[in-house]
Chain A
């Protein structure tokens, strides 16, 4: 079966760095997405990785290792507004998105 695993909840301090991990097993691979979702709102796109390596975009970076079925999202210089759920999703061979359950990130002052 297809499976995406990520931690349920993480806590970090304002100004610090946090890494959210995601492991996956899917039928085919057409890319891995990270989304941010605030409560009651639709997800917003953060990053897309289809090749191995690190993609940096401002305070956010995303890493992918296809051989290990592993990705992480790295958030630097944490701000209170970064408190949200972070969803990892993999696009399978049928171009369907397989979603993780999301990681709730709590930022403390």
Chain B
């Protein structure tokens, strides 16, 4: 099946710094990528949807200036957590689809972010 590579898998950063998470589709063109956040024992919560070459669409309650999403190509999307705080500590997962006729959403491995 198709592969989505997410990097890094784990990151620890100091409060106030920024962290960039990359999500790459390795063998297909991802017309749409989704960014999720998952707190312990909870389901995936959609943060934003990004389409290649256009601005991301953020879900209600997600600060677009804090969670910067760039989808510059059909194979790469990045999420930058700016001025991270301990409450941003979470599991972040990206997902990609190829557009219409979707039969599967492909997930990255996830990034465990810990802000200290």
Contacts and interface: CB of A to CB of B under 8 A. Distances in A.
Sorting the interface of chain B by its residue count into under 10, 10 to 19, 20 to 34 or 35 or more gives 20 to 34
A45 B106 CA distance: 8
A53 interface: no
Size class of the A contact interface (CB-based, 8 Å)? 20 to 34
B43 A40 contact: no
Determine the main DSSP class of A at the interface with B.
loop
A101 B43 contact: yes
Contact of B43 (A41, A50, A87): A87
A15 interface: no
A42 B42 contact: no
A44 B1 CA distance: 11
A56 B43 CA distance: 25
Interface stretch (A19-27, A65-73, A74-82, A90-98): A90-98
B39 to A, nearest CB: 12
Interface in B93-115: 93, 95, 97, 99-100, 102-110, 112
B110 A31 contact: no
A30 B102 contact: yes
A57 B47 CA distance: 32
B77 interface: no
Interface string B26-43: 000000101000000011
Contacts of B99: 95
Contacts of B95: 97
A43 interface: yes
B1 A31 contact: no
A95 B32 CA distance: 9
Given A40-B110, A95-B99, 11 more contacts: A33-B105, A40-B112, A42-B109, A43-B44, A87-B43, A89-B105, A97-B46, A99-B43, A99-B44, A99-B45, A100-B43
Interface of B: 1, 6, 32, 34, 42-46, 49, 91, 93, 95, 97, 99-100, 102-110, 112
The 5 closest A-B pairs by CB, nearest first: A42-B110, A42-B107, A101-B43, A102-B43, A99-B44
